[in-house]
Amino acid sequence: MPTVQQPAAPAAEVSISAEHLVRRFGDFVAVNDVSFHVEKGEIFGFLGPNGSGKTTVIKMLTGLLPLTEGSAWVEGLDVGADAEGVREHIGYMSQKFSLYDDLTVAENLQFYGRIYSLPPARMKQRIDEIVQLNGLAPYMDRLAARLSGGWKQRLALGCAMLHEPKLLFLDEPTAGIDPVARRELWDLLFELSGHGITFFVTTHYMDEAERCSHVAYIYYGRIIADGTPAELKQIPEVQPAGTHRVEISTPEITRALRVARKIPGIRSATIFGESIHALVEDRYDLPDLRAQLAKQDITVSDIRPLTPSLEDVFVELTYKHQAQLEKTRD
């Protein structure tokens, strides 16, 4: 496919359009021909191991890092040509929450209001709206340092969206906060996305990835999966024709894993919590499999069919690409 150097501005319903992004640091290719599109109102989950290029892509899309090659459009603006304009329309929240601990909740909000040059009346109105939405009202005069993790994160989100951005980048927004706060944040994201705000979210939590309307998986600077969670679970690399997935419960899980990996016809096997997830060729049905394992003295307490989770998808794809990378290296 020929690379188009200057594509026209994307259609109006597209929030982010990344075309063949490349970023090199010297010889190192941090981002390698990355293309994806995020539609308005989507919650786009951007996943990948640490050091795989997630942060670099965010820096490129927010105009902090010049593109080595390719082009990116954010909210209808060319990032390369008008990074300043882009920053007016986006919000950003890092995993550190980036608050001023020694300022009060109100002062933090006011500071970001001033940074985005909101007129005083507008600022007051926006702060009221955000406080209403986030439930921050009882804490307005409290120092940010004295908020719990969940409230800090709500405040950080409030600061990031004070200027009514149409697109919000959330870099691991739920790292290190408790499960209840995590759930509540996601409820809030859904509500906001219902109002047409687009979210670009990075996360390590698979349950969060499952809740995204669109996910992409980046591995060593390349996007290796891109689609809705449902679509990804159907792709042939994950669910090759003639195979199915099973979940095997057994008390001797580590020995069972070693055994399972040696059985021909089991394509792959991984431990998930208390059970083993295996990709099995269709020539084995469940009783066959149980018999095979029993032959090796493995007691199977339960065995049942399984629809792949996103985690299965990413594990599978990562194995495939690791093998490929090693092959090209040899």
Partner 1 sequence: MTDLFRGFGAIFYKEVLHVRRDSATLFFSLFIPLIQMFVLGFGIDTNVRHVNTVIFNGDGRRESRELIDRLTNSDTFHIIDYVASDAALNDAIVGGRARVGIKIPVDYSDRLIHNMSAQVLVLIDGSDSSVAGQAINVTTAIGLDESLRRVLTNRGAMAVDMRPKLLFNPDSRSPNFLLPGLTAILLLNVTTFLTAFAIVREKERGTLEQLFVTPAKPFGLLLGKLLPYFFIGFTELCLILTCMRFIFQVPIHGSVLLLAFLSLPYIFVSLSLGILISSKAGTQGEAMQLAFVTILPSIFFSGYIFPRETMPLFFRIISYFVPASYFINITRGIILRGAGIQHLWIDGLALFAMGTVLLIIAARRFQNKVIMA
Binding site for partner 1 (CB under 8 A): 59, 62-65, 84, 87-88, 90, 92-103, 107, 111-112, 114-117, 169
- Shortest reach from residue 234's CB to partner 1, in Å: 36
Considering Cα of 56, then 201, then 210, then 242, what sign does the dihedral take?
negative
- Shortest reach from residue 215's CB to partner 1, in Å: 23
- Shortest reach from residue 296's CB to partner 1, in Å: 52
- Shortest reach from residue 204's CB to partner 1, in Å: 18
CA separation for the pair 201, 254 (Å, rounded): 34
- Shortest reach from residue 244's CB to partner 1, in Å: 45
- Shortest reach from residue 141's CB to partner 1, in Å: 13
DSSP string covering 195-226: TT-EEEEE-S-HHHHHH-SEEEEEETTEEEEE
Buried b (16+ CB within 10 A) or exposed e, 274-299: ebbbbbbeeebeeeebbebbeeeebe
Torsion of CA 73, 202, 50, 29, to 10 degrees: -10
Closest CA to 34 of 80, 69, 73, 7: 69
CA separation for the pair 124, 89 (Å, rounded): 19
Tokens 């490929």 appear where?
A: 324
- Shortest reach from residue 107's CB to partner 1, in Å: 6
Closest CA to 15 of 168, 222, 156: 168
Nearer to partner 1, 25 or 190 (CB): 25
Nearer to partner 1, 47 or 144 (CB): 144
Nearer to partner 1, 164 or 311 (CB): 164
CA separation for the pair 61, 134 (Å, rounded): 27
- Shortest reach from residue 64's CB to partner 1, in Å: 6
Nearer to partner 1, 110 or 318 (CB): 110
Nearer to partner 1, 203 or 250 (CB): 203
Nearer to partner 1, 99 or 298 (CB): 99
Nearer to partner 1, 63 or 229 (CB): 63
Nearer to partner 1, 14 or 90 (CB): 90
Going by their DSSP bridges, the two strands 28-39 and 43-47 should be labelled as unpaired
Residue 327 burial (10 A CB sphere; 0-12, 13-18, 19+): exposed
Left, alpha or beta for 172 (phi > 0: left; psi -120 to 50: alpha)? left
